[in-house]
Amino acid sequence: MFIRSERLFLRPGWPEDSAELLALIADKSVVRNLARAPWPYTADDARRFLEAPQDRLLPRFLITQPGAEGARLLGCVGLAEIDGEVSLGYWIARDQWGQGFASEAVGAVLALARSIGHRRIVASHFVDNPGSGRVLEKAGFERTGRIVERFSAGRGMAFPAREYALEFGEPCDCDDGGNGDGDGKAGISASRMALPGMSARRRAA
């Protein structure tokens, strides 16, 4: 599956991406904000991530930016099932922070999530990473009011995290990148390559 947004091209990871992926994520300032990525992050960790099987309804993507000399890797975004709910996660390489790439990639994945039948998406960020909260709120997420302890493999400890949720409106066939109520907050328009069997619908409570 692939997604094209205004500036970005989101695609699956391939084994040949291992070195570039490692160069970007082997940065403690990035890994400390993630739950599952270990520190130090090694070439074996990158290889395992790229070789992990994909779930059609929980896709993950490398975030790339096409250019005249090819596409450069910027980060990663995707969906996962955590505690029975569909959860959004992402990261952007440190030297690309502040350019709106996270918001654009998150919006594109949310538009896809709605189109394949998800009705509720959750997310969280560690409380010392407020920038991630701004990205989530810009995408239409709302705070649940809960701050919980979540383990961070990168920090090697549990740390307080603020929880968010996004409820989509009723499904429709439109491609406005919105959240179903016409405000467009859940994402941006994106062209998509459908997967075989995409008519299946996953409902998250």
For 1-60, the pLDDT digits (tens) are: 999 999 999 999 999 999 999 999 999 999 999 999 999 999 999 999 999 999 999 999
φ and ψ of 157, to 5 deg = -165, 165
Tokens 């040949």 belong to 16
Q: Name the token pair of 102.
A: 């996270």
So what's the pLDDT on residue 169? 80
Q: Looking at the predicted structure, is the pLDDT value of residue 79 above 80?
A: yes
Domains within the chain, CATH numbers bracketed: 3-181 (3.40.630.30)
Residue 172 has a pLDDT of: 53
Residue 187 has pLDDT above 60, yes or no: no
Q: What is the pLDDT of residue 181?
A: 40
128 by DSSP, 3-state: which?
A: coil
* pLDDT value for 171: 59
Tens of pLDDT, residue by residue over 118-151, are 999 999 999 999 999 999 999 999 999 999 999 9
pLDDT at 205 over 70: no
Is a pLDDT exceeding 60 seen at residue 185? no
pLDDT of residue 178: 44
Residue 201 has pLDDT above 60, yes or no: no
Whether 177 shows a pLDDT value over 50: the answer reads no
Lowest mean pLDDT among 44-58, 69-83, 174-188: 174-188
Give the CA distances from residue 132 to residues 1, 14, 18, 84, in Å, rounded to whole numbers and listed in that order: 25, 27, 25, 23
Q: In terms of DSSP H, where are the helices of the chain? A: 18-25, 28-31, 43-51, 101-115, 130-138
Q: Report angle CA 8, 56, 113 to the nearest 5 degrees.
A: 55
At 37 the pLDDT is: 97
Q: How many CB atoms lie within 10 A of CB 128?
A: 10
Question: What pLDDT, on a 0 to 100 scale, did the predictor assign at position 30?
Answer: 97
